[in-house]
Structure 1
Amino acid sequence: MASRWFASLPNLITIGRLVLTPAIIGFVIDEKWGAAFALFVVAGVSDALDGWLAKTFHLQSDLGAVLDPLADKTLIISIYVSLAVGGNLPAWLAILIVSRDALILGGVLVAWFLARPFKIRPHFSSKITTAVQIVLAAVILAGQAFGVRIGALEDALIASVAALTIASASVYLWLWVQHMRP
Protein backbone atom coordinates (compact mmCIF):
# COMPACT_ATOMS: atom_id res chain seq x y z
CA MET A 1 0.00 0.00 0.00
CA ALA A 2 2.76 2.45 0.89
CA SER A 3 4.56 1.84 -2.39
CA ARG A 4 1.37 2.58 -4.34
CA TRP A 5 0.98 5.84 -2.41
CA PHE A 6 4.62 6.75 -3.07
CA ALA A 7 4.25 5.92 -6.75
CA SER A 8 1.39 8.45 -6.91
CA LEU A 9 3.27 11.17 -5.02
CA PRO A 10 4.49 13.16 -8.07
CA ASN A 11 0.92 13.26 -9.45
CA LEU A 12 -0.49 14.25 -6.05
CA ILE A 13 2.02 17.10 -5.83
CA THR A 14 1.04 18.21 -9.34
CA ILE A 15 -2.64 18.13 -8.43
CA GLY A 16 -1.76 20.21 -5.37
CA ARG A 17 -0.23 22.82 -7.68
CA LEU A 18 -3.44 22.89 -9.71
CA VAL A 19 -5.46 23.36 -6.51
CA LEU A 20 -3.15 26.16 -5.28
CA THR A 21 -3.50 28.20 -8.47
CA PRO A 22 -7.01 29.63 -7.82
CA ALA A 23 -5.99 30.49 -4.25
CA ILE A 24 -2.89 32.32 -5.48
CA ILE A 25 -4.92 34.27 -8.03
CA GLY A 26 -7.54 35.09 -5.39
CA PHE A 27 -4.82 36.53 -3.15
CA VAL A 28 -3.42 38.56 -6.07
CA ILE A 29 -6.87 39.96 -6.85
CA ASP A 30 -7.41 40.81 -3.17
CA GLU A 31 -3.87 42.30 -3.03
CA LYS A 32 -2.87 39.94 -0.23
CA TRP A 33 0.65 39.89 -1.58
CA GLY A 34 2.36 38.03 1.25
CA ALA A 35 -0.02 35.09 0.99
CA ALA A 36 0.14 35.14 -2.82
CA PHE A 37 3.95 35.14 -2.72
CA ALA A 38 4.13 32.32 -0.15
CA LEU A 39 1.73 30.06 -2.04
CA PHE A 40 3.41 30.87 -5.35
CA VAL A 41 6.79 29.82 -3.93
CA VAL A 42 5.22 26.57 -2.70
CA ALA A 43 3.75 25.99 -6.17
CA GLY A 44 7.07 26.78 -7.85
CA VAL A 45 8.98 24.41 -5.57
CA SER A 46 6.33 21.73 -6.15
CA ASP A 47 7.04 21.96 -9.89
CA ALA A 48 10.68 21.07 -9.30
CA LEU A 49 9.86 18.48 -6.64
CA ASP A 50 7.35 16.44 -8.62
CA GLY A 51 9.70 16.25 -11.59
CA TRP A 52 12.64 15.27 -9.42
CA LEU A 53 10.66 12.54 -7.67
CA ALA A 54 9.32 11.16 -10.94
CA LYS A 55 12.76 11.01 -12.56
CA THR A 56 14.79 9.92 -9.53
CA PHE A 57 12.47 7.11 -8.50
CA HIS A 58 11.20 6.21 -11.99
CA LEU A 59 7.65 7.27 -11.16
CA GLN A 60 6.79 8.79 -14.54
CA SER A 61 3.26 8.08 -15.69
CA ASP A 62 0.98 8.90 -18.60
CA LEU A 63 -1.20 10.88 -16.19
CA GLY A 64 1.80 12.86 -14.97
CA ALA A 65 2.88 13.57 -18.54
CA VAL A 66 -0.47 15.34 -19.05
CA LEU A 67 -1.03 16.82 -15.58
CA ASP A 68 2.39 18.42 -15.08
CA PRO A 69 2.36 20.68 -18.16
CA LEU A 70 -1.33 21.42 -17.52
CA ALA A 71 -0.52 22.53 -13.96
CA ASP A 72 2.46 24.58 -15.18
CA LYS A 73 0.46 26.35 -17.87
CA THR A 74 -2.50 26.94 -15.55
CA LEU A 75 -0.24 28.56 -12.96
CA ILE A 76 1.87 30.60 -15.39
CA ILE A 77 -0.98 31.88 -17.54
CA SER A 78 -3.15 32.68 -14.51
CA ILE A 79 -0.45 34.57 -12.64
CA TYR A 80 0.75 36.54 -15.68
CA VAL A 81 -2.75 37.54 -16.73
CA SER A 82 -3.72 38.59 -13.20
CA LEU A 83 -0.47 40.52 -12.67
CA ALA A 84 -0.93 42.26 -16.04
CA VAL A 85 -4.57 43.11 -15.35
CA GLY A 86 -3.49 44.60 -12.01
CA GLY A 87 -0.82 46.71 -13.74
CA ASN A 88 2.09 44.86 -12.13
CA LEU A 89 3.46 43.45 -15.39
CA PRO A 90 3.27 44.70 -18.97
CA ALA A 91 0.13 43.42 -20.71
CA TRP A 92 2.14 42.62 -23.85
CA LEU A 93 4.17 40.07 -21.86
CA ALA A 94 1.06 38.23 -20.68
CA ILE A 95 -0.28 38.29 -24.25
CA LEU A 96 3.03 36.89 -25.54
CA ILE A 97 2.97 34.04 -23.03
CA VAL A 98 -0.67 33.16 -23.71
CA SER A 99 -0.06 33.39 -27.47
CA ARG A 100 2.89 30.98 -27.30
CA ASP A 101 0.79 28.40 -25.49
CA ALA A 102 -2.13 28.92 -27.87
CA LEU A 103 0.26 28.42 -30.81
CA ILE A 104 1.50 25.13 -29.36
CA LEU A 105 -2.01 23.89 -28.54
CA GLY A 106 -3.26 24.97 -31.97
CA GLY A 107 -0.45 23.08 -33.66
CA VAL A 108 -1.22 19.93 -31.69
CA LEU A 109 -4.92 20.20 -32.53
CA VAL A 110 -4.28 20.80 -36.25
CA ALA A 111 -1.94 17.82 -36.39
CA TRP A 112 -4.53 15.69 -34.59
CA PHE A 113 -7.37 16.79 -36.91
CA LEU A 114 -5.19 15.94 -39.91
CA ALA A 115 -4.49 12.49 -38.43
CA ARG A 116 -0.82 13.36 -37.89
CA PRO A 117 -0.64 13.39 -34.09
CA PHE A 118 2.23 15.39 -32.71
CA LYS A 119 3.51 14.32 -29.32
CA ILE A 120 4.81 17.28 -27.39
CA ARG A 121 7.87 16.52 -25.36
CA PRO A 122 9.19 19.30 -23.16
CA HIS A 123 12.12 20.88 -24.96
CA PHE A 124 15.07 22.27 -23.02
CA SER A 125 14.14 25.79 -24.13
CA SER A 126 10.67 25.32 -22.66
CA LYS A 127 12.02 24.18 -19.30
CA ILE A 128 14.28 27.24 -19.06
CA THR A 129 11.43 29.50 -20.17
CA THR A 130 9.12 28.13 -17.47
CA ALA A 131 11.81 28.50 -14.81
CA VAL A 132 12.49 32.13 -15.71
CA GLN A 133 8.75 32.85 -15.93
CA ILE A 134 8.36 31.50 -12.38
CA VAL A 135 11.32 33.57 -11.14
CA LEU A 136 9.92 36.79 -12.65
CA ALA A 137 6.46 36.21 -11.17
CA ALA A 138 8.03 35.45 -7.78
CA VAL A 139 10.13 38.63 -7.94
CA ILE A 140 7.06 40.72 -8.76
CA LEU A 141 5.02 39.08 -5.98
CA ALA A 142 7.89 39.48 -3.49
CA GLY A 143 8.27 43.13 -4.46
CA GLN A 144 4.60 43.70 -3.76
CA ALA A 145 4.65 41.64 -0.55
CA PHE A 146 7.72 43.30 0.94
CA GLY A 147 7.44 46.75 -0.63
CA VAL A 148 10.76 46.49 -2.43
CA ARG A 149 10.79 46.76 -6.20
CA ILE A 150 14.09 46.30 -8.04
CA GLY A 151 13.37 47.90 -11.39
CA ALA A 152 16.60 46.86 -13.10
CA LEU A 153 16.18 43.21 -12.09
CA GLU A 154 12.52 43.21 -13.10
CA ASP A 155 13.36 44.80 -16.45
CA ALA A 156 16.09 42.23 -17.12
CA LEU A 157 13.75 39.38 -16.20
CA ILE A 158 10.96 40.80 -18.36
CA ALA A 159 13.34 40.97 -21.32
CA SER A 160 14.57 37.44 -20.59
CA VAL A 161 11.06 36.02 -20.32
CA ALA A 162 10.06 37.71 -23.59
CA ALA A 163 13.15 36.46 -25.44
CA LEU A 164 12.88 32.93 -24.06
CA THR A 165 9.15 32.77 -24.79
CA ILE A 166 9.77 33.77 -28.41
CA ALA A 167 12.69 31.33 -28.71
CA SER A 168 10.66 28.49 -27.22
CA ALA A 169 7.69 29.21 -29.50
CA SER A 170 10.08 29.23 -32.47
CA VAL A 171 11.53 25.85 -31.49
CA TYR A 172 8.09 24.26 -31.18
CA LEU A 173 6.93 25.85 -34.45
CA TRP A 174 10.01 24.53 -36.26
CA LEU A 175 9.49 21.03 -34.80
CA TRP A 176 5.83 21.13 -35.81
CA VAL A 177 6.64 22.24 -39.37
CA GLN A 178 9.19 19.43 -39.65
CA HIS A 179 6.60 16.94 -38.39
CA MET A 180 3.88 18.19 -40.78
CA ARG A 181 6.03 18.09 -43.93
CA PRO A 182 4.81 15.62 -46.53
Structure 2
Amino acid sequence: MSIPNIITLGRIMLVPIIVWAIVSSQMEVAFAVFLIAGISDAVDGFLAKRFNMASELGALLDPLADKALLVSIYMSLGIWGAIPRWIVILVVSRDIMIVAAVIVSWLFDRPVEMKPSKVSKLNTVAQVAFAALVLAALAFGFKPAPYDIILMGLVTIFTLSSVSLYLVEWVRHMSTIEAK
Protein backbone atom coordinates (compact mmCIF):
# COMPACT_ATOMS: atom_id res chain seq x y z
CA MET A 1 0.00 0.00 0.00
CA SER A 2 1.75 3.12 -1.24
CA ILE A 3 1.27 6.71 -0.08
CA PRO A 4 -0.62 7.69 -3.28
CA ASN A 5 -3.01 4.75 -2.75
CA ILE A 6 -3.61 5.78 0.86
CA ILE A 7 -4.36 9.33 -0.31
CA THR A 8 -6.75 7.95 -2.95
CA LEU A 9 -8.54 5.83 -0.32
CA GLY A 10 -8.83 8.99 1.79
CA ARG A 11 -10.45 10.74 -1.17
CA ILE A 12 -12.97 7.91 -1.46
CA MET A 13 -13.76 8.34 2.24
CA LEU A 14 -14.50 12.04 1.63
CA VAL A 15 -17.40 11.15 -0.68
CA PRO A 16 -20.01 10.51 2.05
CA ILE A 17 -18.93 13.69 3.84
CA ILE A 18 -19.55 15.77 0.71
CA VAL A 19 -22.91 14.07 0.11
CA TRP A 20 -23.91 14.69 3.74
CA ALA A 21 -22.83 18.34 3.49
CA ILE A 22 -24.85 18.90 0.29
CA VAL A 23 -28.03 17.23 1.53
CA SER A 24 -27.66 19.07 4.86
CA SER A 25 -27.32 22.42 3.06
CA GLN A 26 -23.80 22.83 4.45
CA MET A 27 -22.46 24.15 1.17
CA GLU A 28 -19.37 25.79 2.67
CA VAL A 29 -18.37 22.40 4.09
CA ALA A 30 -19.18 20.66 0.79
CA PHE A 31 -17.07 23.15 -1.15
CA ALA A 32 -14.15 22.91 1.30
CA VAL A 33 -14.18 19.09 1.27
CA PHE A 34 -14.44 19.15 -2.54
CA LEU A 35 -11.31 21.34 -2.64
CA ILE A 36 -9.51 18.94 -0.31
CA ALA A 37 -10.50 16.03 -2.56
CA GLY A 38 -9.23 17.90 -5.62
CA ILE A 39 -5.94 18.75 -3.99
CA SER A 40 -5.51 15.15 -2.80
CA ASP A 41 -6.09 13.95 -6.37
CA ALA A 42 -3.31 16.22 -7.62
CA VAL A 43 -0.98 15.19 -4.77
CA ASP A 44 -1.45 11.44 -5.23
CA GLY A 45 -0.92 11.78 -8.98
CA PHE A 46 2.20 13.86 -8.48
CA LEU A 47 3.66 11.42 -5.94
CA ALA A 48 2.87 8.39 -8.10
CA LYS A 49 4.58 9.89 -11.16
CA ARG A 50 7.41 11.85 -9.57
CA PHE A 51 8.58 9.14 -7.17
CA ASN A 52 7.71 6.15 -9.33
CA MET A 53 4.99 5.00 -6.93
CA ALA A 54 2.46 4.15 -9.62
CA SER A 55 0.79 0.79 -9.08
CA GLU A 56 -1.83 -1.43 -10.62
CA LEU A 57 -4.04 -0.86 -7.58
CA GLY A 58 -3.62 2.90 -7.94
CA ALA A 59 -4.52 2.70 -11.62
CA LEU A 60 -7.84 1.12 -10.57
CA LEU A 61 -8.48 3.17 -7.41
CA ASP A 62 -7.82 6.64 -8.82
CA PRO A 63 -10.51 6.64 -11.53
CA LEU A 64 -12.86 4.86 -9.10
CA ALA A 65 -12.34 7.67 -6.58
CA ASP A 66 -12.91 10.31 -9.27
CA LYS A 67 -16.11 8.63 -10.46
CA ALA A 68 -17.44 8.06 -6.94
CA LEU A 69 -16.83 11.72 -6.12
CA LEU A 70 -18.30 13.19 -9.31
CA VAL A 71 -21.31 10.87 -9.55
CA SER A 72 -22.13 11.44 -5.88
CA ILE A 73 -21.83 15.22 -6.19
CA TYR A 74 -23.89 15.37 -9.39
CA MET A 75 -26.60 13.14 -7.91
CA SER A 76 -26.69 15.12 -4.64
CA LEU A 77 -26.81 18.49 -6.43
CA GLY A 78 -29.50 17.16 -8.77
CA ILE A 79 -31.66 15.88 -5.93
CA TRP A 80 -31.09 19.14 -4.05
CA GLY A 81 -32.24 21.00 -7.17
CA ALA A 82 -29.03 22.94 -7.73
CA ILE A 83 -28.38 21.51 -11.20
CA PRO A 84 -30.76 20.24 -13.87
CA ARG A 85 -31.62 16.58 -13.57
CA TRP A 86 -30.93 15.96 -17.26
CA ILE A 87 -27.23 16.75 -16.72
CA VAL A 88 -27.18 14.34 -13.77
CA ILE A 89 -28.75 11.63 -15.92
CA LEU A 90 -26.26 12.29 -18.72
CA VAL A 91 -23.18 12.18 -16.47
CA VAL A 92 -24.30 9.14 -14.48
CA SER A 93 -25.52 7.24 -17.57
CA ARG A 94 -22.15 7.66 -19.25
CA ASP A 95 -20.37 6.08 -16.31
CA ILE A 96 -22.93 3.26 -16.07
CA MET A 97 -22.49 2.50 -19.79
CA ILE A 98 -18.71 2.39 -19.49
CA VAL A 99 -18.81 0.17 -16.38
CA ALA A 100 -21.35 -2.14 -18.07
CA ALA A 101 -19.12 -2.42 -21.14
CA VAL A 102 -16.12 -3.31 -18.96
CA ILE A 103 -18.15 -5.97 -17.11
CA VAL A 104 -19.40 -7.50 -20.37
CA SER A 105 -15.82 -7.55 -21.64
CA TRP A 106 -14.71 -9.45 -18.54
CA LEU A 107 -17.62 -11.89 -18.86
CA PHE A 108 -16.52 -12.70 -22.42
CA ASP A 109 -12.93 -13.02 -21.21
CA ARG A 110 -11.98 -10.04 -23.40
CA PRO A 111 -10.96 -7.40 -20.85
CA VAL A 112 -10.67 -3.96 -22.28
CA GLU A 113 -7.67 -1.79 -21.47
CA MET A 114 -9.06 1.32 -19.81
CA LYS A 115 -6.94 4.33 -20.61
CA PRO A 116 -8.61 7.72 -20.62
CA SER A 117 -8.75 9.54 -23.95
CA LYS A 118 -8.04 13.25 -24.27
CA VAL A 119 -11.78 13.86 -24.65
CA SER A 120 -12.40 11.89 -21.46
CA LYS A 121 -9.82 13.98 -19.60
CA LEU A 122 -11.45 17.17 -20.91
CA ASN A 123 -14.79 15.76 -19.80
CA THR A 124 -13.49 15.22 -16.27
CA VAL A 125 -12.08 18.76 -16.17
CA ALA A 126 -15.42 20.19 -17.35
CA GLN A 127 -17.38 18.09 -14.84
CA VAL A 128 -15.10 19.13 -11.98
CA ALA A 129 -15.20 22.81 -13.00
CA PHE A 130 -19.00 22.78 -13.24
CA ALA A 131 -19.40 21.05 -9.86
CA ALA A 132 -16.88 23.44 -8.26
CA LEU A 133 -18.67 26.48 -9.69
CA VAL A 134 -22.08 25.31 -8.48
CA LEU A 135 -20.76 24.42 -5.02
CA ALA A 136 -18.91 27.75 -4.76
CA ALA A 137 -22.01 29.69 -5.86
CA LEU A 138 -24.12 27.89 -3.25
CA ALA A 139 -21.46 28.27 -0.54
CA PHE A 140 -20.75 31.95 -1.14
CA GLY A 141 -24.09 33.14 -2.49
CA PHE A 142 -23.18 34.44 -5.93
CA LYS A 143 -24.84 33.99 -9.31
CA PRO A 144 -22.73 31.67 -11.49
CA ALA A 145 -24.28 32.88 -14.78
CA PRO A 146 -23.20 32.75 -17.58
CA TYR A 147 -20.34 30.45 -16.60
CA ASP A 148 -22.69 27.72 -15.40
CA ILE A 149 -24.39 27.55 -18.80
CA ILE A 150 -21.03 27.50 -20.60
CA LEU A 151 -19.69 24.72 -18.37
CA MET A 152 -22.94 22.76 -18.66
CA GLY A 153 -22.58 22.96 -22.43
CA LEU A 154 -19.00 21.73 -22.23
CA VAL A 155 -19.99 18.89 -19.88
CA THR A 156 -22.73 17.89 -22.33
CA ILE A 157 -20.47 17.97 -25.39
CA PHE A 158 -17.55 16.18 -23.73
CA THR A 159 -19.76 13.59 -22.00
CA LEU A 160 -21.52 12.66 -25.24
CA SER A 161 -18.24 12.66 -27.17
CA SER A 162 -16.35 10.56 -24.66
CA VAL A 163 -19.05 7.92 -24.23
CA SER A 164 -19.38 7.70 -28.01
CA LEU A 165 -15.63 7.20 -28.42
CA TYR A 166 -15.50 4.61 -25.63
CA LEU A 167 -18.43 2.67 -27.07
CA VAL A 168 -17.02 2.72 -30.62
CA GLU A 169 -13.69 1.44 -29.30
CA TRP A 170 -15.47 -1.18 -27.16
CA VAL A 171 -17.54 -2.44 -30.10
CA ARG A 172 -14.38 -2.63 -32.21
CA HIS A 173 -12.63 -4.55 -29.43
CA MET A 174 -15.56 -6.91 -28.85
CA SER A 175 -16.11 -7.58 -32.57
CA THR A 176 -12.95 -9.66 -32.58
CA ILE A 177 -14.71 -12.39 -30.58
CA GLU A 178 -14.86 -15.55 -32.64
CA ALA A 179 -18.17 -17.35 -33.06
CA LYS A 180 -18.17 -20.95 -31.83
TM-score higher than 0.5 here? yes
Determine the C-alpha separation between the residues in 1 that align with 2:155 and 2:99.
20
Give how far 1:151 is off: 1.5
Determine the C-alpha separation between the residues in 2 that align with 1:81 and 1:60.
30
Q: Counterpart of 1:119?
A: 113
Q: TM-score, normalised by structure 1?
A: 0.93
**Mapping for residues 64-79 of structure 1, pairs under 5 Å:** 64-79=58-73
1:50 corresponds to which letter in structure 2?
D
2:20 equivalent to 1:11: no
2:31 equivalent to 1:37: yes
Determine the C-alpha separation between the residues in 1 that align with 2:146 and 2:56.
41
Contact between 1:140 and 1:149, CA under 8 Å: does it hold in 2? no
Q: Counterpart of 1:101?
A: 95
CA deviations over 1:145-174 (Å, ceiling 9, x no partner)? 110022100010011111111111011111
Q: Counterpart of 1:4?
A: none
- Percent of matched pairs sharing the same residue: 45
Aligned to 2:146, what secondary structure does the other structure show? helix
Indicate the larger mover: 77-86 or 126-135. 126-135
Q: Counterpart of 2:76?
A: 82
Q: Which runs of at least 4 in structure 1 moved beyond 2 Å after TM superposition?
A: none
Aligned to 2:2, what secondary structure does the other structure show? helix
Determine the C-alpha separation between the residues in 1 that align with 2:94 and 2:25.
28
Q: Counterpart of 2:18?
A: 24
Q: Counterpart of 2:42?
A: 48
Name structure 2 gaps, 5 residues minimum: none
Give RMSD over aligned pairs. Answer: 1.1
Q: Equivalent of 1:155, from 134, 149, 153? A: 149
Give how far 1:52 is off: 1.9
2:143 equivalent to 1:128: no
Figure out how many residues of one structure are paired with residues of the other and give that number.
Answer: 176
Q: Equivalent of 2:175, from 163, 176, 181? A: 181
1:167 corresponds to which letter in structure 2?
S
2:30 corresponds to which letter in structure 1?
A
Q: Equivalent of 2:164, from 157, 163, 170? A: 170
1:65 corresponds to which letter in structure 2?
A
Determine the C-alpha separation between the residues in 1 that align with 2:46 and 2:116.
15
2:44 corresponds to which letter in structure 1?
D
Contact between 2:134 and 2:144, CA under 8 Å: does it hold in 1? no
Aligned to 1:151, what secondary structure does the other structure show? coil
Q: Counterpart of 1:91?
A: 85
